[in-house]
A and B are shown apart, each in its own frame.
Chain A
Amino acid sequence: MVYENPDGIRIGLEIHVQLNKLKTKMFCGCSSDYHNSAPNTHTCPVCLGLPGALPVLNRKAVEAAIKVGLALEGEIAEETQFHRKNYFYPDLPKGFQVTQYDYPIVSKGKVVIEGEDGEHVVGITRAHMEEDPGKLVHIGSIEKSKGVLIDYNRSGMPLIETVTEPDMRSPKEARRFLDKFRNILEYLDVFDGNLEGAMRVDANVSVYWGTRVEIKNISSHKGVERALLYEIMRQKNVIRRGGKITQETRHFDEGRGVTLSMRTKEEAEDYRYFREPDLMPMRVSDWVPGIRETLPELPDAKRSRFIEQYGITDMHARSLTSKIMLADFYEGVCAKGADPKTAATWTADVFLGELNYRDLAISSYDGETIGFIHAKDPQVENSFKVSDMVELVKLFSEGKVSDRAAVEVIRSILDGTEEKTPLQIIEEKGLFKAEDDLVTKAVSETIAENAAAVQDYLGGAEKSLNFLVGQVMKKTKGTADAKTARELIIKELKG
């Protein structure tokens, strides 16, 4: 099957990613760990742009950029070259941003995503390094604000801006690309996507192979998908009414879910780029082989290995490798003797489902415990132990707990306030699978006590069987295996 792309949709993305796993900022020694600090406490003359202060390129940032370039299968520049992008804005303390211009650190890469019609290649035009500006904090709402405060903690944070070819053919593909891209960056350990402002996306989109429109500064993957869906609809409607799409930049209003015009091409700014005279080119071509050696196993490779090594399905492998910490957690569980296939089901299907239900995002893994934070409120933390999953998988594999009971255990651990092992929870709640004779006894009792339902069932009412199974479960306090109970009732009544 080949995807026809009936509306001629082309989507390209520009993704700004903060290399927030680096210890220091891009051109100064300020700590990049500012997310929980008071405003303007992670600053120095350099990132405040004080007169006379000079930038010194952080080699680690360059290494991280090269890592990203290699993971995107791109070409790495021979040397670093920086330019000044000149414009006035209060968050920009120097009146220019140091960025890369016509010689980016990475060019011509690619990312393979699961597209509308199977594997789909998205070309990477380039990826370049630049510094983040500070942050404006409006007193009150933007519209009614009496004043603006500036926090320069973010100023000078290392960013990588990645520009894709317009290779995505639907908002879904754009979303998939972003998920995959974020996943790769987390595998490289250069980026923590859970931190505020870690990833900002500009999307450009055109319909019927026509004029492209840019949507600026979207802060979430979901937002990108929504913005694109809206914008495609808008463009199609304009054309349907006989109008023309003009090249312009639009802003996505997250709250209302609509895009609004910001400026047209004629108003485009002139940034007066020129080479940053305070930074000498840094030769990096010799670094590349060494950095290539340190590259970790990337998502696609890990997925293939999981399928082969653990004998799990492609769907499970895809799900487990969609987050490096989850993949590591799964391997930790397997390493401690849990059956890989059972562990895959319980981790990828049940456990992950329960996390999503609770809006929990995986945020850490230390070899023993996987940690999460609430997607909307990072202060809310939670965790789950490898040993707990191992124990649970074992109990289930040995037939000591029913699947319903196992789900109950996972929920108890995620929602519980006290630290308890699965075994403790099972004992406390009496979740052990009932012995077979107990179930048999409950079946006989149920049949004896519910003559009407038995008659209905024998008369052809299948629904009554469900009622009887329910009664058995009730009598065994849910410890019976529902399937076994059902089979026993049928056997008893129909021989």
Chain B
Amino acid sequence: MAKWMSVAQVKEKIRESSAEEVTASYLEVIEKSKINGYVAVSEKAVEQAREIDAKGHEGPLAGVPIAIKDNISVVGMQNSCGSKILEGYVPPFNAHVIEKLQEAGAVILGKTNMDEFAMGSSTETSYYGPTANPWDLERVPGGSSGGSAAVVAAGEAPFALGSDTGGSVRCPAAFCGVVGLKPTYGAVSRYGVVAYANSLEQVGPLANNVTDIAVLMDVIGGYDRRDSTSIDRKTAYQEALVDDVKGLKIGVPKEFFGEGIHQDVEKAVWDSIHRYEELGASWEEVSMPNIKYALASYYIIAMSEASSNLARFDGTRYGFRDRGENWHSMVSATRAEGFGTEVKRRILLGTYALSAGYHDKYYLKALKVRTLVKQDFDRALSKVDVLMAPTMPNPAFKKGEKIEDPLTLYLSDVNTCPINLAGVPSISVPCGFTDGLPIGLQIMGKPFDEPTVLRTAYTFEQNTDYHTKRPPEVA
């Protein structure tokens, strides 16, 4: 069986054989994995596939296997968020997106590795060890949805769900040479997704091609009354897949091509923009002067929200618990032992930023910057249809290279996090290689204008072959 299949190919395979067989074949591939992409493989996957076979393949994803990031609640499966502190925590409820997937007939293969509580860009901070980049096993897959991107790139799942707080879907998509979408804030329900920074994050799909992204969005997108930030609005994602960019206006924000950008990345992105020009689009440079403050604003807001979100992990009700003489010492011991260094760092920084005396200086200021960044996007996107820039300024780095230097690691989010501050949709598509490592092109759009973003990405894909390249090491 072919290792890398589109959803359409998987569905055809299911028709020819069965969902059970297709699921089993993926489980076989996973069994031989060299990348540590999965934290846990579902023991019920084959049984679920068998049930779907028995029911006669109803639903748009009947029998199609999918991998789920380990911060999305699935009944009966541990939801670890890559952390020791959630060891043994099995949610009694499904996330909204899981309900939608199950209604569509999808089969959950397993839970994928991630940076602890989604805090990282390399999937190295996971309690379950780092995940390898399928293109170079010595390198990181990006993060925090590194497991999801890597298993898709390695052919261990046709597609996957990740979550994107400051680039956590797009960064690993770029590093692993797959497609990843961060939808508009409010387009996909966050119900059941463990929060890192509530006001920034969205669940996002990862796949080998733009079509499958749209297929998945048609299933998981839409209003959910259990998420107050979910917007009641219908979007037809697959209908947007038209090979046509004639008349499309592209904005190129020079602020995204800043200091430290890898020259091959810069070249690949400009080549892509020129390719669009050949296909009938036009481009112009746009200025987004406040982007330079976005990274600082993003980290202050994300860490502040995180410091509060992660307060519930105290060993009292679920997950890991350490010993203590009384409740307070038990909580201290549990959190000291249960959280990794990066998580503790962010909790401390977030706590600091919200503290009396510093609140206005850091948190409030960060919120003001956020408003300015939003205005930059509004202004730029009032003149053009989409913005284009490198997803990541550099290709995947080596494991261990940046993990000891958090500031350098934070800098790698410079091009992805502004999008989360603004809440706009953004997709990363493969657009080239440097030394055998994939490069991602980031296409950003207006709020809820995923159709234009998807059409733009789809047209590129139809006219290039980067998305068909496979990592030789895991072939």
Which residues does A use to contact B, with CB under 8 Å?
Answer: 45, 48-57, 84, 86, 88, 90, 93-96, 148, 150, 270, 272-274, 277-280
What CA separation (Å) do A270 and B311 show in the bound complex? 15
Roughly how many angstroms separate A291 CA and B126 CA in the complex, as a whole number?
Answer: 52
User: Residues of B contacting A280 with CB < 8 Å?
Assistant: 228-229
Which residues of chain A have C-beta atoms less than 8 A from B39's C-beta?
Answer: none
CB atoms of B228 and A52 under 8 A apart:
no
| B104 interface contact, C-beta 8 A | no
List chain B residues, Cβ under 8 A from A50.
91-93, 318
Contact of B226 among A54, A148, A270 (CB under 8 A): A54
Given A90-B316, A270-B356, does the pair A95, B308 have CB atoms closer than 8 Å?
yes
Hey, which chain B residues are within 8 Å of A49, CB to CB? 312
What is the bound-complex CA distance between A148 and B327, given in angstroms? 9
In the assembled complex, B207 has its CB within 8 A of some CB on chain A: no
Q: Is the CB of A51 within 8 A of B73?
A: yes
Task: Judge whether A272 and B317 touch: CB under 8 Å.
Answer: no
| Contact pick for B93, options A53, A94, A278, CB 8 Å | A53
Tell me if B459 is interfacial: C-beta within 8 Å of chain A: no
What residues of A have a CB within 8 angstroms of the CB of B73 in the complex?
Answer: 51-52
A270 to B192, CA, bound (A): 30
Complex CA–CA separation, A162 to B206 (angstroms): 49
Q: Is the CB of B316 within 8 A of A57?
A: no
A95 and B314 form a contact (CB under 8 A): yes
Are B304 and A56 touching (Cβ within 8 A)?
A: no
Segment of B175-183, B194-202, B391-399, B407-415 in the binding face: B194-202
Q: Is B354 part of the contact surface with A, judged by Cβ < 8 Å?
A: yes
Taking the complex as formed, is B170 at the interface, i.e. its CB lies under 8 A from any CB of chain A?
Answer: no
Q: Is the Cβ of B79 less than 8 Å from the Cβ of A52? A: yes
- Shortest CB-to-CB span from B111 to chain A, Å, is 13
Q: B367's closest neighbor in chain A, by CB? A: A275
Question: Contact between B226 and A56 (Cβ–Cβ < 8 Å)?
Answer: yes
Query: For the complex, what is the distance from the CA of A86 to the CA of B229, rounded to whole Å?
Result: 21
> Is the beta-carbon distance between B355 and A270 smaller than 8 angstroms?
yes
> Which residues between 292 and 343 of chain B lie within 8 Å of chain A, taking CB atoms?
304-305, 307-308, 310-314, 316-318, 327-328, 331
Contact residue among A45, A51, A86, A88 (Cβ-Cβ distance under 8 Å from B354) = A86
Please report B residues at the A interface, Cβ cutoff 8 Å.
71-73, 79, 81, 86, 89, 91-93, 95, 190-195, 197-199, 225-229, 304-305, 307-308, 310-314, 316-318, 327-328, 331, 351, 354-356, 359, 363
A88 touches B311 (CB 8 A): yes
Q: In the complex, A224 Cα to B252 Cα: how many Å?
A: 67
Question: Which residues from A are CB-within-8-Å of B190?
Answer: 52, 54
* A45 pairs with B227, CB closer than 8 A: no
User: A152 — nearest CB in chain B belongs to which residue?
Assistant: B317
Establish whether residues A150 and B316, one from each chain, have CB atoms under 8 Å apart when the complex forms.
yes
Partner of A54, one of B71, B227, B305, B363: B227
| Separation of A55 and B229 alpha carbons in the complex (Å) | 10
Contacts of A53 in B (CB 8 A): 93, 191-192
A380 nearest CB across to chain B (Å):
36
Contacts of A48 in B (CB 8 A): 317
Whether A277 touches B199, Cβ cut-off 8 Å, given contacts A52-B91, A270-B355, is yes
Give min CB distance, B92 to chain A, whole Å: 7
CB-based nearest B residue for A270: B356
12 A-B contacts, Cβ less than 8 Å apart? A48-B317, A51-B312, A54-B228, A93-B317, A95-B311, A95-B312, A150-B316, A274-B304, A274-B354, A274-B359, A277-B229, A278-B229
B191 touches A54 (CB 8 A): yes
How many angstroms between the C-alpha atoms of A157 and B127 in the bound complex? 36
Q: Please, how many angstroms separate the alpha-carbon atoms of A273 and B355 in the complex? A: 9
Partner of B311 from A54, A55, A96, A277 at Cβ < 8 Å: A96
Which B residues touch A278, using CB under 8 A?
195, 198, 227-229
A45 touches B79 (CB 8 A): no
Closest to A84 in B: B308
Among A53, A273, A280, chain B packs the most CB atoms within 10 A around the CB of A53
Question: Nearest CB to that of A150 among chain B residues?
Answer: B316
Residues of A within 8 A of B359 (CB): 272, 274
User: Chain B CB within 10 Å — which of A52, A90, A273 has the most?
Assistant: A52
Asked if B191 and A57 make an inter-chain contact with CB atoms under 8 angstroms apart, the answer reads: no
Contact status A57-B228, CB under 8 Å: yes
- Name, among A51, A55, A88, A93, the residue most crowded by chain B CB atoms within 10 Å (CB to CB): A51
Q: Which residues from B are CB-within-8-Å of A88?
A: 311, 314, 328, 331
Which residues of chain A are near B81, meaning CB under 8 Å?
51
Residues from chain A with a CB closer than 8 A to the CB of B228 are 54-57, 278-280
* Contact A86–B311 (Cβ < 8 Å): yes
Q: Which residue of A has the minimal Cβ distance to B316? A: A90
Chain B residues within an 8 Å CB radius of A56: 225-226, 228
Interchain nearest-CB distance for A270 vs B (Å): 5
A139 to chain B, nearest CB (A): 14
State the CA gap A280–B363 with chains docked (Å).
19
Query: Once the chains bind, are A272 and B192 in contact (CB under 8 Å)?
Result: no
Inter-chain contacts of A95 with B (CB < 8 A): 308, 310-312, 314
Known: A52-B79, A272-B351, A279-B228. A90 touches B198 (CB 8 A): no
With both beta carbons as reference points, the residue of chain A lying nearest to B79 in the complex is identified as A51
Residue of B nearest to A95 (CB): B311
Is B226 a contact partner of A94 (Cβ separation < 8 A)?
Answer: no
How many angstroms from the CA of A66 to the CA of B218 in the assembled complex?
40
Name the A residues within 8 Å of B312 (CB-CB): 49, 51, 93-95
**Which residues of B sit under 8 angstroms from A279, Cβ to Cβ?**
228
| A90 and B197 alpha carbons, distance in the complex (Å) | 23
Q: Which residues of A contact B308 (CB under 8 A)?
A: 84, 86, 95-96, 272, 274
Out of B95, B305, B327, name the residue touching A90 (CB < 8 Å): B327
Chain B nearest CB from A408 CB (Å) reads 57
A94 pairs with B311, CB closer than 8 A? yes
Q: Which of A148, A270, A274, A277 contacts B363 (CB 8 A)?
A: A274
Q: Is the CB of B225 within 8 A of A52?
A: no
- A53→B198 CA distance, assembly (Å): 12
